Homo-oligomer: A and B are copies of this chain.
Amino acid sequence: MERKALLLDSYGLVRKRTEAICYPLETEDFVVQPIADVSPPKWHLGHTTWFFETFVLVPNLAGYKVFDPSFNFVFNSYYETVGARVIRTDRGNLSRPTVSEIYRYRQYVDDHVNKLFEGSDIATALWDILELGLQHEQQHQELLFMDIKYILGHNPLFPAYSHDPVFDELMVVREMPIAFSEGAFWIGQKGNGFCFDNEKGRHLVYLDAFEIAPQPVSKGEYLEFIDDGGYSDFRFWHASGWDWVNKNQIKAPLYWHSTDGHWMEYGMKGIQEIGAKEAVCHISYYEAAAYATWKGKRLPTEMEWEVASDRIKWGHRWEWTESAYLPYPKFKKAKGAIGEYNGKFMVDQMVLRGASVATSKGHSRKTYRNFFHTDRRWQFSGVRLAQ
Interface residues of A (CB under 8 A from B): 26-34, 42, 70, 73-74, 78, 80-81, 86, 90, 92-99, 151-152, 154-157, 159, 182, 184, 203-208, 210, 234-235, 237-242, 285-286, 289, 298, 322-324, 326-327, 329-330, 344-348, 350, 374
Contacts and interface: CB of A to CB of B under 8 A. Distances in A.
Contacts of A98: 26-28
A204 B151 CA distance: 47
A103 to B, nearest CB: 13
A363 B186 CA distance: 36
Given A28-B30, A208-B203, A238 B346 contact: yes
Contacts of A86: 156
Contacts of A74: 156
Leading 9 A-B pairs by shortest Cβ distance: A324-B324, A34-B93, A28-B95, A206-B206, A29-B95, A208-B329, A80-B234, A204-B206, A239-B344
A228 to B, nearest CB: 18
A154 B93 contact: yes
Contacts of A152: 95-96
A96 B28 contact: yes
29 contacts: A26-B96, A27-B98, A27-B99, A28-B42, A28-B98, A32-B32, A32-B92, A32-B95, A34-B90, A70-B156, A74-B156, A93-B151, A93-B155, A94-B156, A95-B151, A96-B159, A97-B157, A184-B184, A204-B206, A205-B205, A208-B329, A238-B344, A238-B348, A239-B344, A240-B347, A240-B348, A289-B347, A298-B327, A347-B374
Contact of A31 (B73, B95, B237): B95
B241 A347 contact: yes
Q: How many copies does the complex hold?
A: 4
A344 B237 contact: yes
Contacts of A28: 27-28, 30-31, 42, 95-96, 98-99
A350 to B, nearest CB: 8
Contacts of A99: 27-28
Nearest to A74: B156
Given A70-B157, A238-B348, A298-B327, 20 more contacts: A26-B95, A26-B98, A28-B31, A28-B96, A28-B99, A32-B94, A70-B156, A93-B155, A94-B155, A94-B156, A95-B151, A96-B152, A184-B206, A206-B206, A207-B329, A238-B344, A238-B345, A242-B344, A289-B347, A347-B350
A345 B235 CA distance: 12
A28 B90 CA distance: 15
Contacts of A90: 34
Nearest to A38: B93
Contacts of A347: 238, 240-241, 285-286, 289, 350, 374
Given A322-B327, A326-B324, A96 B155 contact: yes
A204 B34 CA distance: 47
A259 to B, nearest CB: 15
Contacts of A81: 235
A28 B156 CA distance: 20
A73 B93 CA distance: 23
B327 A96 contact: no
Contacts of A289: 347
